[in-house]
Each structure stands twice: as C-alpha cells, then as structure tokens.
Copies of this chain bind each other. A is one copy, B any other.
Amino acid sequence: MITKEIIINKFKEIQSEICQKLEQLDTKSTFSVEPWQHHSGGGGITRVIQNGNIFEKGGVNFSAVEGTLPDKIKNALKVEETAFFATGISIVIHPENPFHPIIHMNIRYFELADGTYWFGGGIDLTPIYVDANEAKFFHTELKKVCDEFDSSFYPKFKTWADNYFFIDHRNETRGIGGVFFDRLNDKSTALTKEKIFDFVCKLGLSFAPTYIKIIENKGLNPNCSPDNKKWQYVRRGRYVEFNLVYDKGTKFGLDTNGRTESILMSMPPQANWVYNFQVLPSSNESFTQENLKKDIQWI
C-alpha cells in the first residue's frame, strides 16, 4: 500500500541524492537548504545552487502541500472535490556554459480527498546549441526507463512533451523535448499504483546520471565566445516566456499562493531580449532554431 508518507519520504530521498551528485560534479558551490511552510498546510524544502563552476543557478525543490483548489484550477482539472494533497520534486538547472543544456525534471503525486489520485512528471532538455548526438543519448536514456514499465510509454510521453513544451507565440518548442505525462493511475494505465510510483521514482533517479553524462561528454568547461553567451541569454529569454506564459506548474503554484521564490527558482540568472533577433544563415544558431520543432525522432 503506497501511502502519502511513503511517497513523501521517497521523494525527499531522491531530492538529496540528486543534490549530492550535482554538487560532486560542480565541486565549487553547494546547494542551500531552505525549509518552508505553506499557508494552507504542509511545506517544502527548497535547495538552490548559485555561481558554481558548472551551475550558474539551479533549484531542486521538494514540496508536499495540502489545500483547497481555487475554482479556476478545479475547473481546469475537471474534478468535483477541492481538498487536495500534492507532493513533488521540481528541478530546473541553468548551467553557466552555453554548451551545457538547461534541464528540467519534475515528478509529482496529486490526491483529492475523495481518493482520486494521479502521478505526473517529465524531463526535458533545452540546449542552447542543439547537438543531435546529445539529443539521441538523452532520449535513449529516457526510453530505457520507460520501456522497463510499458513499451507504449516512451512514444506517447515523447509526443506529449513535444506538445507541452511548446511556445505557441514563437511557434517553436522550448528545446529538444523529452518525456511528459500526467494523470497516470491504475485506470489510465495497465499498471498498479505501486508500479507507477516505481516508474516515477526510477525516472527521477535517472535524472542526475543522465545529465551529468551529458555535461561530461561536452567537457566541463568548453570554450565559448561572446556570441555564444549572447545566444544563451536570448534562449534563456524564451525559457522565461515559456515558464511565465504557459507552464502549468508555475500557474498552479502562483494560483494557489505558493512560495514565490521556490516557484520562480526556475527563472534563469540572466536573460536578454533583443528586438527581432535574427540568426545568421548556416550558423550553429540557425541549426538550433531549425530543430526547435515537434516530432523529430532523435533516437
């Protein structure tokens, strides 16, 4: 029997393990530890790393909160019950070097007082410079975790990520996608609650080794030019646009009066907006721009 307490404890454990592994890679900065309370019940532990060797700014947030759904969210979720419990880990990492991609990971569990529950989550990668080999490796690692549980998961969740991490007003994806899923339970899948929980945890635990390997493959400190940095700041601006205009987790957090600093730890340390920025033809930037679209099979 998977109880809230079991999920909470396991998620906290995963949070610690991820922070420890990222600190080992960074060697300079460590994660702060900030416990906080939610006004309507529960709370969380926000862990942030800033100004590291590798990580310019990164947050690994754990939360477990109780509350009442505002009407807006209740209607959006199409549920009747309003007393909710939600727990999850949410990560966004902004590396300093433009050749190291931004990454996001989230695993979450949601339960209503009437017993309805579901798991959700995802991992997606936002390279400043798209690299087909890196994208292939990343998607292969995700597929491995998915395939262990259900061979339909990867193709389904990959498409879901393409559609979810999409910046409509730019007509471009946020990055090269990954997996995204929501409302997984014993009715919507062929798995038991225990199995889905296991899947979500394994996905969460795959985050650190996969991301660390991606960084090591690029080298810890690849050479970069001022133009590379400029492009990084522009791409980060798009990341801000996605998170503030479209991201459901951000909206949910702000709409339920969550802790703003924990919700917006996903914001990059610096972002720039240049009016009508155009990439040069046949440049690495234009290769990236051309690959910010749905339905690319990276594997």
On A, residues with C-beta under 8 Å from B are: 32, 34, 48, 50, 57, 59, 168-170, 233, 237, 240-241, 244-245, 254, 257, 260-261, 263-265, 267-276
Contacts and interface: CB of A to CB of B under 8 A. Distances in A.
Contacts of A254: 168-169, 245
Given A240-B271, A241-B264, A270-B273, 19 more contacts: A48-B276, A50-B274, A57-B275, A168-B254, A169-B260, A169-B264, A170-B260, A233-B270, A241-B244, A244-B244, A245-B254, A261-B275, A264-B273, A265-B275, A267-B273, A269-B272, A270-B270, A271-B271, A271-B273
Interface centre among A57, A233, A257, A276 (most CB of B within 10 A): A276
How many copies of this chain does one complex carry?
Answer: 2
A173 to B, nearest CB: 15
A269 to B, nearest CB: 6
A263 to B, nearest CB: 8
Contact of A240 (B34, B50, B240, B263): B240
A94 to B, nearest CB: 9
Contact of A244 (B57, B245, B269, B275): B245
A275 B261 CA distance: 7
Nearest to A270: B272
Nearest to A273: B267
Nearest to A254: B169
Contact of A273 (B34, B257, B269, B275): B269
A32 B263 CA distance: 37
A57 B241 CA distance: 18
Nearest to A272: B270
Top 10 A-B pairs, shortest CB-CB distance: A267-B273, A244-B244, A48-B275, A169-B254, A169-B260, A261-B276, A270-B272, A244-B245, A265-B275, A271-B271
21 contacts: A48-B275, A57-B275, A169-B260, A169-B263, A233-B270, A237-B267, A240-B244, A240-B271, A241-B244, A244-B244, A244-B245, A245-B245, A245-B254, A261-B276, A265-B275, A267-B273, A269-B274, A270-B270, A270-B273, A271-B271, A271-B272
